[in-house]
Homo-oligomer: A and B are copies of this chain.
Amino acid sequence: MRESFHGDLARLGEQLGAMCGLAAEAMRRANRALLTADLQLAEEVLTGDDQLDRAREACEEQAQSLLALQAPVAGDLRTILAAVYCAEKIERMGDLAAHVADAARFTHPDHAVPAELEGVFTELGEIGAGMADRVGELILGDAEGGHAELDETDHAVDALHARALAAITKDDWAHGVQAASNLALLARFHERFADQAVSVAKRLEFAETGRTSTT
């Protein structure tokens, strides 16, 4: 029975890992839709978001049934509660990717991101999606040191976020108030996406080691 229990736990990890892949892909596609003003792609991301919502529900049901049937304690209990926590954060990453896609849809056929900020937003999307992928690896492998690593990456995201805000509030900003307000929100969606990845890495590491690495 314990062996089957640990098989169930491993399957829960695989479900979470797959959710990370979905979140990474959603962010990549949403950001491409944003940068190319691709309405159809934006709508695909928005429609696809319920896949992550359902995956999260499945994780939670699986966790609940493990708790009820196996009454785990100590490390196993910590792992299951961490899985529930992480599933919620990863679902939220999908929501934030969908917000990016929604902004692309809202501004279409115009481009939400002016040429001088394309580099910043390209990087924000790539780093964010990479963080989601990395969290998936931490879930399936060894989470130790993961928090410090993701936290370090998050500093790069914060710096890009600050660059975007600085650009839209400079005196020579030429694209008007609406574009600036949209971009402030968009930069925040990216920043929050990365924050969720850091939270997941922190929680995974704590569940695995009882400690959290810091930078």
Contact = CB atoms under 8 A, between A and B. Distances in A.
Interface of A: 60, 63-64, 67-68, 71, 73-74, 77-78, 81, 84-85, 88, 165, 168-169, 173, 176-178, 180-185, 188
Contacts of A168: 177, 181
Contacts of A67: 67, 77, 81
A6 B36 CA distance: 56
Given A88-B88, A185-B185, 18 more contacts: A60-B81, A68-B73, A68-B74, A68-B77, A71-B71, A84-B85, A85-B88, A168-B177, A169-B177, A169-B181, A177-B177, A177-B180, A180-B180, A180-B181, A181-B184, A184-B185, A185-B188, A188-B188
In the assembly, how many copies of this chain are there? 2
Contacts of A183: 181
A176 to B, nearest CB: 8
A206 to B, nearest CB: 11
Contacts of A74: 68
Contact of A165 (B71, B180, B181): B181
A130 B60 CA distance: 30
20 contacts: A60-B81, A64-B78, A64-B81, A68-B73, A68-B74, A68-B77, A81-B84, A84-B85, A88-B88, A165-B181, A173-B177, A176-B177, A177-B177, A177-B180, A181-B181, A181-B183, A182-B184, A184-B185, A185-B185, A185-B188
A111 to B, nearest CB: 17
A178 B181 CA distance: 9
A81 B64 CA distance: 8
A81 B184 CA distance: 35
A178 B177 CA distance: 9
Contacts of A71: 71
A63 B67 CA distance: 12
Nearest 3 CB-CB pairs, A to B? A71-B71, A181-B184, A169-B178
A100 to B, nearest CB: 14
A52 to B, nearest CB: 16
Contacts of A173: 177
